[in-house]
């Protein structure tokens, strides 16, 4: 990984407006968890935390949206304004460029989602459940952020409409198609994340559709494959090839 590209990319991504918006989004689960705890609900807190908060809100919405914004911007800004050609004119291995861009988008996404997961989970459980559930989702969300970041970074090399394509993947493919057709879940990063969380936690409350070992194997395989494709795409990059 090229540290100069990494630091420069990180500075570009941590723009004030963008980060304020993402931080506000990351605070939403904390607010909802607080409402749940103060509402004197009779719902089992462990079940609600596992399936409504961590699964339904963080893994389903927060995680993909944060990674989508950061990862499509990481290379997307340079592609849109044409400065990508200056970067590619430098004698840098394309693999180092991709790894630097991936790390720059994954780091803030992983930190934001992990903090939101940990704090909202602690608020929702408030000592009434095993902390293993929270730790499991923190780890699985960080790994999920890496997988999403790799995928969305690759999409930004395929099309200038990566943000739209990413939203279609998140809300149509993962939100609708994988719920209707069980066989498609092997192509869902959301399901990988839930499966890894199920593997790491000791609770039986989590509704995960993929077994833990399979989910972890698929996550690692898909992430590696997408990174390799991104490197290959960047090696063959031509501005006129984008549509």
User: How large is the C-alpha radius of gyration of the chain?
Assistant: 18
Cα–Cα distance for residue pair 196/106, rounded to 1 Å: 18
Taking a C-beta distance cutoff of 8 angstroms, is the pair 100, 9 a contact?
Answer: yes
Higher pLDDT, 204 or 59: 59
Instruction: Please report the pLDDT score of residue 241 as a whole number.
Output: 44
* Per-residue pLDDT at 207 exceeds 90: no
* Per-residue pLDDT at 188 exceeds 50: yes
Tens digits of per-residue pLDDT, 215-237? 899 999 999 999 999 998 888 76
- Interval 69-77 mean pLDDT: 86
For residue 204, name the pLDDT band (cuts at 50, 70, 90).
low
For residue 240, name the pLDDT band (cuts at 50, 70, 90).
very low
Instruction: Please report the pLDDT score of residue 243 as a whole number.
Output: 43
Query: What are the boundaries of each domain within the chain?
Result: 3-238
Tens digits of per-residue pLDDT, 155-165? 998 888 899 99
Instruction: Please report the pLDDT score of residue 182 as a whole number.
Output: 82
For residue 51, name the pLDDT band (cuts at 50, 70, 90).
confident
- Interval 175-201 mean pLDDT: 88
* Per-residue pLDDT at 180 exceeds 50: yes
Instruction: Please report the pLDDT score of residue 141 as a whole number.
Output: 95
For residue 205, name the pLDDT band (cuts at 50, 70, 90).
low
* Per-residue pLDDT at 150 exceeds 90: yes
* Per-residue pLDDT at 202 exceeds 80: no
Higher pLDDT, 195 or 211: 195
Mean pLDDT over each residue of the chain, to the nearest integer: 86
Tens digits of per-residue pLDDT, 82-130? 777 777 777 778 888 899 999 999 999 999 999 999 999 999 888 666 6
- Interval 21-41 mean pLDDT: 87
């Amino acid at each position: 990984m090229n540290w100069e590209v990494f630091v420069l990319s990180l500075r570009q991504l941590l723009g004030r407006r963008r980060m304020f918006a993402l931080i506000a989004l990351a605070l939403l689960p904390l607010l909802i968890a607080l409402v749940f705890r103060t509402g004197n609900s009779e719902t089992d807190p462990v079940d609600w935390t596992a399936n409504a908060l961590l699964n339904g809100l963080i893994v389903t919405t927060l995680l993909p949206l944060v990674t989508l914004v950061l990862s499509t911007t990481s290379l997307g800004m340079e592609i849109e304004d044409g400065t990508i050609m200056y970067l590619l004119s430098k004698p840098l291995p394309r693999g180092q460029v991709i790894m630097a861009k991936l790390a720059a988008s994954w780091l803030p996404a992983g930190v934001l989602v992990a903090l939101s997961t940990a704090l909202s989970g602690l608020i929702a459980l408030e000592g009434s459940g095993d902390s293993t559930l929270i730790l499991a989702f923190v780890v699985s969300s960080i790994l999920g952020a890496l997988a999403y970041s790799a995928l969305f970074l690759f999409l930004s090399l395929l099309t200038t409409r990566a943000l739209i394509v990413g939203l279609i993947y998140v809300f149509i493919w993962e939100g609708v198609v994988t719920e209707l057709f069980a066989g498609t879940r092997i192509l869902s990063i959301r399901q990988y994340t839930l499966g890894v969380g199920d593997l790491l936690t000791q609770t039986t409350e989590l509704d995960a559709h993929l077994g833990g070992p399979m989910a972890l194997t698929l996550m690692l395989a898909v992430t590696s494959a997408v990174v390799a494709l991104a490197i290959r795409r960047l090696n063959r990059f031509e501005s006129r090839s984008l549509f």
